[in-house]
Amino acid sequence: MRILVCVKRVPAPGSRINVTPDGHAVDTAHLGFTTSPHEECAVEEAVQIAEEHDGEVTVLTLGPPEAEEQLRYAASVGAHNLVLIPISEVDWDPQRTASALTTAIIDLESADGPFDLILFGNESADAGGFQVGIRVAYALGRPVVNGIKGIDVANGTASARREIDGGFEVYVVPVPAVMGIKEGINLPRYPTMKGRLASKKAEVHSAVVEAAAGGQARVRLHRPVEQVSETVILGNGPEAASAVVDLLEELGVLS
């Protein structure tokens, strides 16, 4: 079983997101970076399926050279092969990203055989375009479903569960297939010391791919208007309980 996971390196902001003066990007001067949470879960899911079915997991990212850090993290939790499509811009638009990923996937498959499953995040944490995985799947002619919170693979089909209000929808999809994963499908493991050491030595393959820009272009990023409220401090410690319950009564939530 061969599984591919596409992940994106994104900044990890704290209490607010600051934007660079030209408005083109998130100001990352004082920020760390991470993998989008949905994709972290996609990597974990791929590793679990590979463990069960004697498979191999490849992780692919398109990003700056530093995105190697996110690939190595994936290796530290069990991914086998790491591929980076290096770009020099901050971000590519979704059409361009999808086209480059598709080219890289076709190359990887022609060298080592098709991937039974290709996993994406439901949406990237930063851009949130809700489309890259679907574009890639269509270009490859494969079935794709988004929002997946459970996968069972057996006998050439993948049964996938998608959350809806108060329950699940079930899709039964022929393999090879593509899926967009949502956080909550599993609890990602933390890297072990051994995993961390191995990931330092893992080889990162570079796939240089060109792709034309799409029709959506960024003008600038900005923060939504925040309502600033004065915080009413009801007290310190347990003595505040009576003031809190007064408030609850006033708000009518104490029936």
Partner 1 sequence: MTLLILCDHDRGTLAEASLEALTFGRDLAQRAGLSCEAVLIGEDAESAAGPLAAHGAVQVHLASHVLLTDYGPEAWGETLTQLTRSTGATAVMACGTDRGNEVIAHVAARLDEPFVANCTNITPGDTWTMTRVQWGGSLLEDATLDAGHRLVTVAHHAVEATPTETPADGALVQFTPDLVAEAARTVVKDRVVLTQGITLATSPVVVGGGRGVGSEDGFAQLEDLAGALGGVVGCSRAVTNNGWRPHSDQVGQTGTRIAPDIYIAAGISGAIQHWVGAMAAKNILAVNTDGEANMVAKAGYAVIGDLHKVLPAITEEIVLRRG
Ligand X SMILES: Nc1ncnc2c1ncn2[C@@H]1O[C@H](COP(=O)(O)O)[C@@H](O)[C@H]1O
* Shortest Å, Cβ 10 to ligand FAD: 6
Binding status of residue 157 toward ligand FAD by CB under 6 A: no
Measured between alpha carbons, how far apart are the two ends of the chain, in Å? 56
- Concatenated DSSP letters of 138-187: HHHT--EEEEEEEEEEETTEEEEEEEETTEEEEEEEESSEEEEE-TTSS-
Contact status, residue 170 vs residue 160, Cβ threshold 8 Å: yes
What part of residues 47-86 is at the interface with partner 1 (CB under 8 A)?
none
Q: x-or-dash pattern for ligand X, window 71-110, by CB under 6 A?
A: -----------------------x--x---x---------
Binding status of residue 123 toward ligand X by CB under 6 A: yes
Binding status of residue 132 toward ligand X by CB under 6 A: yes
Contact status, residue 42 vs residue 120, Cβ threshold 8 Å: yes
Residue number with CB closer to ligand FAD (99 or 122) = 122
What part of residues 105-134 is at the interface with ligand FAD (CB under 6 A)?
125
Binding status of residue 12 toward ligand FAD by CB under 6 A: yes
* 119, β-bridge pairs: 5, 179
Q: Can you tell me which of 18, 20, 34, 103 binds ligand FAD, judged by CB under 6 A?
A: 34
Stretch that binds partner 1, among 43-51, 54-62, 76-84, 177-185 (CB under 8 A): 177-185
Look at strands 204-206 and 81-86 and give their pairing: parallel
Stretch that binds ligand FAD, among 29-37, 63-71, 164-172, 203-211 (CB under 6 A): 29-37
Q: Which of 127, 118, 51 is nearest to 95 (CA)?
A: 127
